[in-house]
Structure 1
Amino acid sequence: MCASVLTNVALPTTSATLTLRIIKSFEYRTEKSLVLHGVNLETTTVGELKNIARQAVQTQLGWKPYRNVALDTMKLYTKAHGAKTTNLIINLDHEEWIIDDSSKILADLGFENETEVSLFNRELYDQFKLNPETRWDV
């Protein structure tokens, strides 16, 4: 009988897969996922991860609508096999999951294979928290 391997430990921390949920609009639930393969969680900092994402948004096809958003803040969305929020765009609870220190190493923050993080504009997030209503049906 073969033992199953959980996906969060299926790859080493030196070659993890991360999903960045790039958020353009909280109200309209506009987000696009950027999947990064081969990320070294033991050496990559939060700042480096933000720069990788910003570079992808500026240079890769399909990201043009996101190029005018100041992507300055990251927040943990979920880890593999973890509970997900009921809010489809971002988890509004757990303010401690906001990652403010760009010098922190991802592994030191508990990142593992298949971690999902949101990357967004902090000012837009704070506005949405005050009135978390979606307008996608307008």
Structure 2
Amino acid sequence: MSEISHTLTNEAVPPTEATITVRVIKSFEYRTERSLVLHKLNLEATTVGGLKEIVRQAVQTGPAWRPYRNAVLDTLKLYTKAHGAKTTNLIINLDHDDWILEDDDKILADVGLENETEVSFFSRKAYDGFKLSPEVSHSSIPAMP
């Protein structure tokens, strides 16, 4: 009979080989986002600014990211950690502005990232506008008669 491991997934791998998900947000109103999963990311050596550049490079070079290439991406915010509570807002957590990662020189492990963390990457100007009026638009598909 095998033993059941009680190691949490966020503790299962060292912070030097973490997997994180970056939720790249193009539009808050239309809930347009695409996730980028990064494997074997060294959270003890990568800075907030370094993570931004990794994601921007993926957006600029990956064929599936073409619709996101003109999006302004300047702000990272913690979305959730493994085994943590998720927000009820499907696009971004509007509370906890203290989770915005504002210092590009900070090391990811020092700002709380760990294995299986999800962060959002977006335009700060668009985020601030959405916070003032968090209305979600729906597509303009006409209703069936």
- TM-score by structure 1 length? 0.97
Partner of 1:17: 19
Question: Percent same amino acid among aligned pairs?
Answer: 67
Which one of the candidate residues 82, 90, 93 is aligned to 2:92? 90
- 1:110 CA displacement: 1.1
| Cα root mean square deviation, aligned | 0.8
Gapped runs of 5+ residues in structure 2? 141-145
- 1:61 CA displacement: 1.7
CA distance in 2, matches of 1:61, 1:5: 37
Matches within 5 A, 1:1-138: 1-138=3-140
CA distance in 2, matches of 1:92, 1:83: 14
Aligned length: 138
Residue type at the aligned position of 1:75: K
- 1:70 CA displacement: 1.4
* Structure of higher CA gyration radius: 2
1:62-105 per-position Cα deviation (integer Å, ceiling 9, x unaligned): 00110001100000000000000000000000010011100000
- 1:112 CA displacement: 0.4
User: SS in structure 1 opposite 2:16?
Assistant: coil
1:44-66 per-position Cα deviation (integer Å, ceiling 9, x unaligned): 00000000000000001200110
CA distance in 1, matches of 2:133, 2:93: 14
Gapped runs of 5+ residues in structure 1? none
Residue type at the aligned position of 1:52: I
Query: In the alignment, is the contact (CA less than 8 A) between 1:28 and 1:135 conserved in 2?
Result: yes
Query: In the alignment, is the contact (CA less than 8 A) between 1:29 and 1:136 conserved in 2?
Result: no
- TM-score by structure 2 length? 0.93
- 1:137 CA displacement: 4.1
CA distance in 2, matches of 1:126, 1:110: 23
- 1:19 CA displacement: 0.2
Query: In the alignment, is the contact (CA less than 8 A) between 1:21 and 1:31 conserved in 2?
Result: yes
Query: In the alignment, is the contact (CA less than 8 A) between 1:74 and 1:120 conserved in 2?
Result: yes
